[in-house]
Amino acid sequence: MYKITTHPILEIPKSEKVTFQFDGHIIEAKKGFTIAAALHQAGFPVHSHSLRNRKRSLECGIGKCGACEMLVDGQVKRICITLVDEVKEVKEIPHDYRPDIIEYAKNEPIDVYKTQVVIVGAGPAGLAAREILREYGIDNLVVDNNSKIGGQFLMQTHQFFFFEKEKKYGGMRGFDIAQTLAGANHEGIFLNSTVWDILEGGRIAVKEISTDRT
């Protein structure tokens, strides 16, 4: 695998070099790129092994399937969406791996929000639902575990089809549609956050992934 330096649509970021350890090797990468990209470019496309020792690599490549999970500085992360930026060490997850059980302090502060609707996922459907709810003045919050809005729109570098032109988003590129749908005000969109429990009384528990804040 080699790294492209130009792209007809997307800007390739020129960023500083970083390194991390993998399996006794020092891997060089550029800030802003994913661990998966760095490992592939360094010639290490195998990230795990099946119980029968078959080699495994990426599957979806967009953070949805979990096939690329590795131990990143001791935490299980999907390397196809985890940036190399501050990473020190990446390891294959051992077959007998058991995560540490974290005891949460009962009086740990939590943020409480009241809303009428919670939309899980800031992709095409989630953003479209948010737009309609806002038109009708219905309170809503959007929760997405990615660091950017758009979901599958972010993969769409092409312009939407010609026969869609008379419709609202015809002729636009997918990532531009995501921004247009969300509007300038991203208030109420929680990125890097995952829904981890649905509780009685119409409540849900949401965790901010990088800080573990609830």
Between 60 and 76, whose beta carbon lies closer to ligand FES? 60
Residues 6+ apart with CB under 8 A from 185: none
Q: How far is the CB of 130 from ligand FES (least distance, A)?
A: 24
| Distance (Å, whole) CA 4 – CA 12 | 8
Give, to the nearest 10 degrees, the angle between helix 174-182 and helix 124-135: 30
Least CB distance to ligand FES at residue 60 (A): 4
The distance of closest approach from Cβ of residue 145 to ligand FES in the complex, given in angstroms and rounded to an integer, is 11
- Of 80 and 118, which CB lies nearer to ligand FES in the complex structure? 80
CA gap 70, 93 in Å, rounded: 5
Residues of this chain that bind ligand FES (CB under 6 A) = 58-61, 63-68, 78, 80
Decide whether 80 or 177 has the Cβ nearer to ligand FES: 80
Taking the complex as a whole, the smallest distance from the CB of residue 149 to ligand FES amounts, in Å, to: 18
Q: How far is the CB of 78 from ligand FES (least distance, A)?
A: 4
Q: Computed from CA positions of residues 46, 147, 88, 97, in that sequence, does the dihedral angle turn out positive or negative? A: negative
What distance in Å separates the CA atoms of residue 189 and residue 74, rounded to the nearest whole number?
Answer: 29
Count of C-beta atoms within a 10 Å radius of residue 94: 9
Burial of 119-157, coded b for 16+ CB within 10 Å and e otherwise, reads bbbbbbebbebbeebeeeeeebbbbbbbeebbbebeebe
- Closer to ligand FES by CB, 35 or 181: give it: 35
Cβ closest to ligand FES, residue 12 vs residue 60: 60
